[in-house]
Amino acid sequence: MLRFLRGTGKRTKSIWWAVAIITIVTFLGGFVFLFGAGFNTQMQARATGAVGTVNGGRIPREAYYNALAEQRENYKRQFGVEPAERDEKMVQLQTWRSIVSQQMLAQQAKTLGLRAHDREVVLALQTSPPQSVTALPVFQTDGKFDVDKYRQALGNPSVNWEPIEVLVREQIPVRKLQERLLASVKLSEPELWRAFLDRNEQVSGTLVQVTPSFEGAAPEVAPAELQRLYEKYKGRFSTGARTQLEVLLVPRRYGNEETAAARELAAGLVKRAREGEDFGTLARDYSEGPGAENGGVVDRVFTLQDFGPKLSPMITAMKPGDISDPQQDGGRTLIFKLLSRATDPASSQPGFKIAQIVIKVRPNEDTARSQFDELQKMRDRAASVGLAKVATEKGLTTQTTPFYDANNPPPSLYTVPEAADWGLYAKAGAVSPVFPGIDEYAIVRVAAQRPAGPAPFDDVAAQLRQLAEMNARVESAKPRADEIATALANGTPLEKAASAGGATTFSVTDMSRVQPDPRLVPVPEVVAALFTNPPGKAEGPIRGVNGWFFVRVTNRTTPDSTAFEKLKGQLTTEILQRRQQSFFVGLLEQLRREAKVKDLRLEGVIY
């Protein structure tokens, strides 16, 4: 219930998961990352306070927490608020992924003998200080980096710049590695010309589609036909590496005393607000939820669907200015104030603008420790007998996620993203540590790992059957297509032949290869024919996945070399940046799958 109130908005999930991998190509903006030396074992890492190791090299605790602070600031600059519980989880995961990526690249740079020279360090400090430095308030004027203030401080002999010098000295070899890697991504002149034509060559024409009949029962499909279609189209079913998990979620235990204390505090705040105290001030003083610093205001419009069946009647009955009774939601108690009624801009449905106060239940330390120890024993037993068996012994059930990748985590682990991330790189059958979520603990087991490439036959059998049934229906429409082809051969105009055959005629105008008409997206064969057939002549039938097509090119415009020269630089930059990003993401994914990474952040912590 009310998971939306734990984040700052609907967009946050897509934004932060989408950038979770992409941020690896922008890390050079300056994470505070100080590499350790002389420690190469997990035990030594624990002894020195490291939060993890990558191929034996430690990740210092101060490096991780400095990087986390910077990511929180980035979030606040982007959304205007501190990350709430759910989003904080995403920020922590993004920080971990990025700092692991930095460590791997630093190790690669060291292997290649790349290092920073004194003059390079000085030049970098003078011209491109790390983001962690430019964001410091002392170097800000009206919220922006003030280069004059920075230069004055840089020239002040009383300022100790050694920590920043160490940081820059560690960053430079990685920058050199990045430059070397990205310089290896090339773009030939013929490729550039082809890309130019794909974007700028345009065609207009008339098309006829002979659609199959969908009357009657679906045609029978033989297993051999499914296998044939799989072999023919399996390239279209290719994906990156994917993981499937078996998941056990266990709700946190909250004692009656702790829950009652939170309810009593919430009831007292409701009373004070209804007696005239300012709700915003109470939110700033007591709330632990999104928007607390803004008086509890959540900057979006909510619909009744957002509140769910339990709270919708209450919200509907409230008038602007009304304050709700306390509402229990797992480990928190919520108080709402209806600010106004509004229209949801996304759906145009009636909606509500609200402020809220969130009071968290503070679990008893003994209760939390007892539950965590119990779960740890369950985890250890699951490693021997299986997670499902252990869950059944405790009267619990497990669930299996769909296959997922780093950018599409399973919804069941949305509030425990660390568990989903762990599963991406663990071996099949491995059982995870106990991961703390917002209102639950998670233990997961890797049910299956799928390498990058075509999906197995069984995974796409349903899609293949649909394709085979459509294929059979398309084949049954072949006589109608042959009638039109015969009429064309006898000199009948395309439109007249199509009308006589009961086919659909439509036109496309100024269509490019990269932006085909939406009706032609499933049939690249037809798009290719429009760009290769001579104007004025009707051609067909061309078989597509959804019918038979005839095409007649009306006009095709090919841009000249003058336009190419004008757009060449812009196009080169665009294509190279996309290729470089794809190359870099692929490289880091390969390094990550080959790396031995130990996450020690949870060790010794009771939640």
Same fold, 242-253+365-451 and 256-360: yes
Q: Determine the angle formed by the axes of helices 61-79 and 85-111, rounding to 10 degrees.
A: 130
Residue type, 141: T
Query: Does position 179 have pLDDT exceeding 80, yes or no?
Result: yes
- Tell me the CA end-to-end span of the chain in Å, nearest whole number: 22
Domain 256-360 class, CATH top level: alpha beta
> In which element (H, E) is residue 468 found?
helix 461-476
| CATH of region 3-184+586-599 | 1.10.4030.10
CB contact at 8 A, 94 and 146: no
pLDDT band with cut points at 50, 70 and 90 for residue 10: very low
Strands 50-54 and 399-400: unpaired
Q: Which fold has domain 202-218+460-557?
A: Chitinase A; domain 3 (3.10.50)
What is the torsional sign of CA 419, 424, 425, 428? positive
pLDDT band with cut points at 50, 70 and 90 for residue 255: confident
Taking the C-alpha atoms of residue 447 and residue 243, their distance in angstroms, rounded to an integer, is 8
Rg (CA), the chain: 30
Measured from the Cβ of residue 264, the count of other Cβ atoms closer than 10 Å reads: 13
Query: Does position 86 have pLDDT exceeding 60, yes or no?
Result: yes
Per residue in 481-525, pLDDT (tens digit) is: 999 999 999 999 999 999 999 998 999 999 999 999 999 999 999
All residues at 6 or more sequence positions from 145 whose CB lies less than 8 Å from its CB, including other chains: 134, 135, 139
| CATH of region 242-253+365-451 | 3.10.50.40
Taking the C-alpha atoms of residue 429 and residue 423, their distance in angstroms, rounded to an integer, is 10
Query: Does position 171 have pLDDT exceeding 70, yes or no?
Result: yes
pLDDT at position 604? 53
pLDDT band with cut points at 50, 70 and 90 for residue 83: confident
Mean pLDDT of the chain, nearest integer: 87
pLDDT at position 11? 38
Query: Does position 208 have pLDDT exceeding 60, yes or no?
Result: yes
463 burial (CB, 10 Å; 0-12 / 13-18 / 19+) is middle
SS3 string, 477-507, reads: CHHHHHHHHHHHHCCCCHHHHHHHCCCEEEE
pLDDT at position 391? 97
What number is the average pLDDT over the span 406-420? 93
CB contact at 8 A, 93 and 437: no
Query: Got the DSSP string for 519-535?
Result: GGTT-HHHHHHHHHSPT
What number is the average pLDDT over the span 145-151? 90
Query: Does position 3 have pLDDT exceeding 60, yes or no?
Result: no
All residues at 6 or more sequence positions from 65 whose CB lies less than 8 Å from its CB, including other chains: none
- Which is higher by pLDDT, 599 or 143? 599
Taking the C-alpha atoms of residue 16 and residue 75, their distance in angstroms, rounded to an integer, is 9
Query: Does position 2 have pLDDT exceeding 70, yes or no?
Result: no
What is the number of alpha carbons within 13 Å of residue 97 lying toward its C-beta? 30
Closest of 466, 561, 440 to residue 197, by C-alpha: 561
Taking the C-alpha atoms of residue 272 and residue 284, their distance in angstroms, rounded to an integer, is 14
CB contact at 8 A, 415 and 1: no
Taking the C-alpha atoms of residue 215 and residue 212, their distance in angstroms, rounded to an integer, is 9
pLDDT at position 19? 37
Taking the C-alpha atoms of residue 401 and residue 409, their distance in angstroms, rounded to an integer, is 9
User: Which 3 state secondary structure label does DSSP give 58?
Assistant: strand
Vertex 500, ends 499 and 504: CA angle to 5°? 35
Helix segments in 80-221, DSSP class H: 85-111, 118-127, 131-134, 147-154, 162-183, 189-200
Per residue in 364-373, pLDDT (tens digit) is: 888 889 999 9
Taking the C-alpha atoms of residue 458 and residue 54, their distance in angstroms, rounded to an integer, is 36
Residue type, 144: K
Residue type, 283: A
Taking the C-alpha atoms of residue 502 and residue 47, their distance in angstroms, rounded to an integer, is 79
Measured from the Cβ of residue 373, the count of other Cβ atoms closer than 10 Å reads: 12
- Which is higher by pLDDT, 294 or 79? 294
374 burial (CB, 10 Å; 0-12 / 13-18 / 19+) is middle
Taking the C-alpha atoms of residue 284 and residue 139, their distance in angstroms, rounded to an integer, is 28
pLDDT band with cut points at 50, 70 and 90 for residue 233: confident
Taking the C-alpha atoms of residue 296 and residue 290, their distance in angstroms, rounded to an integer, is 7
Q: Determine the angle formed by the axes of helices 561-594 and 85-111, rounding to 10 degrees.
A: 90
Per residue in 15-58, pLDDT (tens digit) is: 333 333 334 334 433 333 333 333 334 444 544 578 999 999 99
Q: Which two tokens stand for residue 196?
A: 């130019």
pLDDT band with cut points at 50, 70 and 90 for residue 63: confident
User: Which 3 state secondary structure label does DSSP give 559?
Assistant: coil
Domain boundaries, the chain: 3-184+586-599, 202-218+460-557, 242-253+365-451, 256-360
pLDDT band with cut points at 50, 70 and 90 for residue 8: very low
Closest of 244, 299, 241, 605 to residue 453, by C-alpha: 241
Residue type, 594: E
User: Which 3 state secondary structure label does DSSP give 57?
Assistant: strand
Taking the C-alpha atoms of residue 1 and residue 309, their distance in angstroms, rounded to an integer, is 9
Per residue in 105-138, pLDDT (tens digit) is: 999 999 999 999 999 999 999 898 887 788 788 8
pLDDT band with cut points at 50, 70 and 90 for residue 555: very high
pLDDT at position 213? 84
User: Which 3 state secondary structure label does DSSP give 74?
Assistant: helix
